[in-house]
Amino acid sequence: MSSGADPVSWLVVEPGWRVVAADGTAVGTVQEIIGDTGSDIFNGLAVSAGLLKRPKYVPAEQVAEIAEGEVRLAVTKDEFEQLGEHEEPPASAEILPP
C-alpha cells in the first residue's frame, strides 16, 4: 500500500480539508468548492488562509491532486499568496454559463 492517500474526485472535497502548496507547506483549508456537480465541471476552490484573511480563489488548473482530506496545489506557497481573493456572488445573482 502506498504512503499517500488515493486520489479522489473533486466531488468529495469538503470544507475544512487541508490545502497544501506544491512543496507540502500547509496554506489553509477549503472554504468552498466552486463547480457544477450536475455537469461534473470543477472550477476551483475558495481557500481560507486564516481567520482574518479573505479567502483565496484557486482555479481548478492550479489543483495538482485531491486525496482524502487534503488538496495539493500545483503552486508554491508564494504563488498561492499572489492568487486573487474569492469574490462571493451577490445572494440574488444567478450564475449562468458563459
**59 part of a folded domain:** yes
CATH number of the domain to which 72 belongs: 2.30.30.240
Identify whether 18 is part of a domain. Answer: yes
Is 46 inside any structural domain?
Answer: yes
73-96 CB burial, b ≥16 within 10 A, e <16: bebeeeebeebeebeeeeeeeeee
Residue 40 inside a domain? The answer is yes
For strands 63-67 and 70-73, give the pairing. antiparallel
| pLDDT at residue number 53 | 86
User: pLDDT value at position 46?
Assistant: 96
The pTM assigned to this predicted structure is 0.81
Interatomic CA distance for residues 50 and 38, integer angstroms: 31
Given a contact cutoff of 8 angstroms between Cβ atoms, the answer to whether 31 and 46 are in contact is: yes
Residue 31 lies in a domain: yes
What is the residue range of 21's domain? 10-82
Does a structural domain hold residue 27?
yes
**Is 98 a domain residue?**
no
Contact 59, 41 (CB under 8 A): no
Grouped pLDDT means (10 residues each) for the chain, 98 residues: 65 96 96 92 94 91 95 96 81 54
Domain assignment of residue 69, yes or no: yes
The total number of structural domains that make up the chain: 1
Taking Cα atoms as reference points, which of 53, 50, 56 lies closest to residue 32?
Answer: 56
Model pLDDT, residue 5: 60
